[in-house]
Copies of this chain bind each other. A is one copy, B any other.
């Protein structure tokens, strides 16, 4: 695996994992007042398109990471409507 792939996978891991602390915070505090559901809706659609882009480009880091992001953003959206 080359340096570029390592950068891509690290970037993907961070931009995917980034939402996890927010999911835990919302789940633990049940407080979602300051959060924007519009943000998570747009991000869910956006990362869905990144998955499509990755498929067209046959770029595995983009496909795998944005696929996980899609699920996490959708989960965050569910938590928002659950606790609002």
Contact = CB atoms under 8 A, between A and B. Distances in A.
Contacts of A38: 21-22
Nearest to A31: B34
A7 B52 contact: yes
Work out how many copies of this chain go into the complex.
Answer: 2
Interface string A8-41: 1011111111111110111001011111101110
Interface residues of A, number: 42
Given A21-B38, A35-B22, A4 B43 contact: no
A48 B11 CA distance: 8
Contacts of A35: 22, 25, 34-35
A56 to B, nearest CB: 4
